[in-house]
Structure 1
Amino acid sequence: MIETAFRSDELPVGDRFEWWRDLTSRTLTPTVITSEHADDFRASLRLLDLGVTQASVLSYPSLRSRRTPALVRRSDPELYHLFLTLRGGQSISQGGRDASVGAGDLLLYDSSHPTDAQVLPEHEGVVEGIIVNVPRAAVPLPAEKVDRLLATPLPGDVGMGALLSQFLTNLAAEFAAMGPQDAVRLGAVTLDLVIAFLAQHVDAADTVPPECRQQALMVAIHSFIERNLGDPQLSPTAVAAAHHISVRYLHRLYQGQGTTIANGIRRSRLQRIHRDLADPHLNARSISSIAARWGFPEPTSFSRAFKTLYGITPRDHRHKTQ
């Protein structure tokens, strides 16, 4: 994976603020930035290259960022910026609208209109968030409808907003551990989720390409499975019912995944058990209780499935990793 990390504390104090202004202009969109912390600006940015899309994980103190009409005329990369606030908040003005958002909210703005944004840190003094840059041309929705969402608070805790927020948070946490071949796939998933999220808010779901809707549905299914792995009743029938689709259609979705949904659930459960058995903090818990915690209440079938996948018994694995 292509990830680049930047930290201001690696530079001399006097160079940090100018460095940040230059960095964000190059990796996001050129703006005029001012800050009361300019004398000692402590910030960090991780740039995640996802191909057609790009995500940035940021932490920075209070500041004001303005994209002036002159900057828009000088250069417009024609990007939508979708900001997920993780800590703190911000206020923004764009297109005649004003919005204030806090932790858990999503906010859409773009590079094609003047913008005035003010960061609102918490008592810790920093704002943290994830910004996804998406080319306007890559969003197959009516531009005039999407533009109505600019500078409008969008919920990140329900529906597609919750799914997108969870995906972005996990992406930021796990990105460094992923392989180079994952970048294009993750970029496509990110784009599809953003499109589905915006479509939900502009009432334009019918204009979303079928493959985009299918990708968003698969992400929702995977998220549901991960949240319910400990339920022994988790099954293809339960998954299909939760997403209002037929079991037959669910199996068809999995045909392109290289596995079946039942095998996918089993593998995910075994991976959690494999991890927990290697955790010394869980030594007091029996192997059978750990297996039951992840949806394997029957010890014999669990042991057989574990050895088939890992080539070692659960007991030997626990002994070997302690």
Structure 2
Amino acid sequence: MLNETEFRSADAPAADRLAYWAERVGQTHAPVRMTSDHAHDFRAVQRVIDLGSVSVWPATFQQLVIRRTPRLIRRSDPELYHLSLLLGGTGTGSWDREEAVYRPSDLHINDSSVPWEIRTGKDPVTAVGLELPKALVPLPRGADCRSVPKRVPAGTGIGALLAQFLSQLIADTACYRPADAPRLGGVVTDLVTAVFAHALEAENSLPPDTHRRALLLRIKKFIQEHLHDPQLTPAGVAAAHHISISHLHRLFENEEATVAAWIRRRRLEAARRDLIDPALRSCAIHAVAARWGFPRAADFSRAFRAAYDITPTEYRSRAAAADTSPRH
């Protein structure tokens, strides 16, 4: 399991909870000033997931006005970029004469070295915060911290890749080992770098390795969304991303499987989950196979047995028997 800590403002006396939360944000991001309509009994919950140089923190909190002032910057500047994936609630951010309005599925971005103010709406905010050192994010030539975008849509493109990654990460940290933390932090850093560069219309200025990994993540997301298509092939994947088949194979050279094997494994895993789903028990095995890109039942049975050393029929029967056993 990843190293993770949890904070609840309710652990402090009611009158101290807003100050307690401000101190917590000061440790997680950078020192800030806070005011709230709920200062008499402020409610906030936060998890902090340690990914080495990067930290991710899902949180829910009540209405706030948060300020990062020039005086606070002079006193302490950890030189971090902060990103928040907004899942619920609204907010408005301002920097000098610039302003941005945030709604669910937006990525809000700020910089610990630049003064800013965030005002959230009256409803509680649920967001996934992300902190990473600015030194890890190479900006394109000619760009500086003030040119970094303040708002990025997370519904499409690279913003959606980052949002999906963060959502999956926070959903279940138990499936990872502590040794995975720096690797996951590296993926986050690459995605943030790609988000910045794309927003600055300078994607070609990305370091080659960052560009490669961002492209690989985009390709894997595409494959996952098209597993049902029996025509999904390496050639089709390459064409959809405007690269050659040889380039696609090079991207997968350091992965656990070739492109074709990766597609087949994802299809088999999806079919395997459906076979043991009680809600789908009346669905014929050939229909499950077709649903995940195996139009020929015989091909599915051979692939399934080769992967799991059991036929689909036997696998489903064992799962059904386990569901009805007295011990279960």
Report the TM range for the smaller structure's normalisation: over 0.9
Deviates more, 1:13-22 or 1:266-275: 13-22
Task: Give the corresponding residue for 2:130.
Answer: 132
**Cα deviation code 1:213-271 (max 9, x no counterpart):** 00000100110011111111111011101111001111111111131011101111111
Could you tell me how far 1:117 is from its partner in structure 2? 0.9
Q: What is the DSSP-based 3-state SS (H/G/I as helix, E as strand, rest coil) of the residue aligned with 2:178?
A: coil
CA contact (8 A) 1:196 1:216 kept: yes
CA contact (8 A) 2:94 2:100 kept: yes
TM-score when normalising by structure 1: 0.93
- The equivalent residue for 2:51 is 50
Q: Name the residue aligned to 1:209.
A: 207
Which letter does structure 2 place at the counterpart of 1:176?
A
Q: RMSD across aligned C-alpha pairs, in angstroms?
A: 1.8
Structure 1 unaligned residues grouped into runs of 5+: none
Range that drifts further, 4-13 or 243-252 = 4-13
TM-score after normalising by structure 2: 0.91
1:22-37 superposed matches below 5 A: 22-37=23-38
Inter-partner Cα distance in structure 1 for 2:290 and 2:108? 41
Instruction: Confirm whether residue 64 of structure 1 aligns to residue 65 of structure 2.
Output: yes
Q: Which moved more, 1:76-85 or 1:199-208?
A: 199-208
Secondary structure of 1:145 counterpart: coil
Matched, 1:20 2:21: yes
Is residue 111 from structure 1 mapped to residue 109 from structure 2 by the alignment?
no
Distance 1:276 1:13 in 2: 48
Corresponding residue to 1:176 among 166, 174, 181: 174
Q: CA deviation at 1:8?
A: 3.2
CA distance in 1, matches of 2:239, 2:149: 36
Aligned equivalents of 2:72, 2:141: Cα separation in 1: 22
1:75-117 deviation line (CA, Å, top 9, x unaligned)? 0000111221111111111243121111111122110122211
**Is the 2:29–2:80 contact (alpha carbons within 8 Å) kept by the matching residues of 1?**
no
Partner of 1:198: 196
d(CA) in 2 for partners of 1:143, 1:30: 30
Structure 2 residue aligned with 1:252, among 250, 258, 262? 250
Q: Give the 3-state SS of the residue equivalent to 1:257 in structure 2.
A: coil
Is 1:318 matched up with 2:316?
yes
Q: Which residue is equivalent to 2:3? A: 2
What whole-Å deviation, never above 9, does each CA across 1:35-80 have from its counterpart, x for those lacking one?
1122322221121211222211111111111112221111000011
Q: CA, structure 1 residues 197+300, in 2 after alignment: closer, same or farther (shift >3 Å)? A: same
Q: Tell me, which stretches of 5 or more residues in structure 2 are unaligned?
A: 321-328
Alpha-carbon shift at residue 287 of structure 1 (Å): 1.5
Q: Which region of structure 1 is more displaced relative to structure 2, 157-166 or 66-75?
A: 157-166
- The 1:7/1:312 distance shift into structure 2, 3 A limit, reads farther
Q: What is the distance in 2 between the residues matched to 1:143 and 1:71?
A: 29
SS of match in other structure, 1:130: strand
Q: Is the 8 A contact 2:252 2:259 kept in 1?
A: yes
Greater CA drift, 35-44 or 235-244:
35-44
1:241 to 236, 239, 242: 239
Aligned to 1:281: 279
**1:91-102 maps to which residues of 2 (within 5 A)?**
91-102=92-103
Check conservation: 2:149, 2:196, Cα contact below 8 A.
no
Match of 1:90 in 2: 91
